[in-house]
Amino acid sequence: MSNPFNLEGKVALVTGGNTGLGQGMAVALAEAGADIVVAGRSSAADTGKAVEALGRRFFEVKADFSDPSCVDGVVAETVEKAGSIDILVNNAGIIRRNDAIDFTEDDWDSVMDVNIKSAFFLCQAAAKRMIPAGGGKIINIASMLSFQGGIRVASYTSSKSAIAGLTKLLANEWAAKGINVNAIAPGYFATNNTAALQADEDRNKQILERIPAGRWGDPKDLGGAAVFLASSAADYVQGTVLAVDGGWLAR
Ligand code: NAP
């Protein structure tokens, strides 16, 4: 029986795949058989070693998503190096923290440029390749703050709520063109992005008390969801925002 989760012969572009959740998903996709392209501003050599150790091809594309005009070049270079783009994981993201009353325009724009503007135009650039090729899979990385308000993170909550809406819009427009557009909403994962929360004793305790699973997520915990949504097992899954949160939203 053929394995619907097999990604052999597919090329996955993972933004921000040098560390954290992006690295966890890139390695999981490679374990399922995909070749991996990581786009970002820091060296992804560690991810490359892990992917190549699994017998998969690995390529890097230098990109700074604070300038959304780079995305067409990123997708073109992906196809040039790896031969196609079958899967896009829009993972690169940043967060800025301040009280809403003091929030600056720079803290707004810098988060929106990376988390939503570059993500949308990457979806568009990838879809321009995927549609003529017969389809593809797009996975956007959302957040608990796609569902909840959060506190002191005005631009982050806005960007992640926008990602959830955009995922549904793109699913509506592109499902009939063979592209599955879905999102993963990670709960609280131990990465650079949450270092400030982990270091704050009170916030760390509050967060752990609220997670039914009783622990922070590990980047490996996202692998199964990423492989599923990237695979033909998810061919009829469209516009969903899949929470991988140790039960956070259930509480
Ligand atoms: P992370 O370790 O800080 O990783 C963020 C990634 O995005 C890094 O690869 C980073 O590159 C890249 N990036 C940031 N700005 C960039 C830019 N201007 N150009 C290119 N790459 C850029 O955090 P993470 O937790 O793995 O976050 C990954 C995604 O998951 C983000 O979208 C985040 O919002 C989301 N998320 C995380 C959690 C969590 O609990 N950790 C929960 C929900 C959602 P550098 O290494 O060069 O900075």
Question: Tens of pLDDT along 79-128?
Answer: 999 999 999 999 999 999 999 999 999 999 999 999 999 999 999 999 99
Question: Tens of pLDDT along 142-186?
Answer: 999 999 999 999 999 999 999 999 999 999 999 999 999 999 999
Full residue range of the structural domain in which residue 106 is found: 11-244
Distance 162 CA to ligand 1 centre (A): 17
| Residue 97 to residues 14, 104, 147, 155, 193, Cα–Cα distance (Å) | 25, 10, 18, 9, 11
> Can you tell me which atom of ligand 1 is nearest the CA of 145?
43
Question: Is residue 249 situated within a structural domain?
Answer: no
> Can you tell me which atom of ligand 1 is nearest the CA of 114?
18
Is 156 one of the catalytic residues?
Answer: yes
Question: Is residue 113 situated within a structural domain?
Answer: yes
Question: Is residue 221 situated within a structural domain?
Answer: yes
The helix-helix angle for 154-174 and 118-133 (nearest 10°) equals 20
Q: Is the dihedral of CA 65, 131, 183, 82 positive or negative?
A: negative
Question: Is residue 251 situated within a structural domain?
Answer: no
| Residue 4 to residues 65, 201, 236, Cα–Cα distance (Å) | 33, 43, 12
- Taking the whole predicted model, whether its pTM rises above 0.95 is answered as yes
Domain count, the chain: 1
Question: Is residue 2 situated within a structural domain?
Answer: no
Q: Which one of 59, 156, 188, 189 is the catalytic residue?
A: 156
Give the CATH number, domain containing residue 126.
3.40.50.720
Distance 135 CA to ligand 1 centre (A): 27
pLDDT exceeds cutoff 90 at 133: yes
Question: Is residue 3 situated within a structural domain?
Answer: no
Whole-angstrom distance, CA of residue 160 vs CA of residue 147: 9
Question: Tens of pLDDT along 27-59?
Answer: 999 999 999 999 999 999 999 999 999 999 999
Question: Is residue 1 situated within a structural domain?
Answer: no
Distance 2 CA to ligand 1 centre (A): 34
Give the model's confidence band at 1: pLDDT under 50 very low, under 70 low, under 90 confident, else very high: low
Mutate to test the pocket of ligand 1, among 61, 67, 91 (most ligand atoms within 8 A of CB): 91
Whole-angstrom distance, CA of residue 245 vs CA of residue 222: 9
Phi–psi pair at 158, nearest 5 degrees? -65, -45
Q: Give the residue, by CA position, lying nearest to ligand 1 atom 33.
A: 93
Task: Enumerate residues lining ligand 1, CB below 6 A.
Answer: 16, 18-22, 40-42, 63-66, 91-94, 114, 141, 143, 186, 188-189, 191-194
Distance 43 CA to ligand 1 centre (A): 14
Residue 91 near residue 185 (C-beta atoms within 8 A): no
Give the model's confidence band at 193: pLDDT under 50 very low, under 70 low, under 90 confident, else very high: confident
Q: Give the residue, by CA position, lying nearest to ligand 1 atom 45.
A: 42
Whole-angstrom distance, CA of residue 212 vs CA of residue 247: 5
pLDDT of residue 207: 94
Question: Is residue 6 situated within a structural domain?
Answer: no
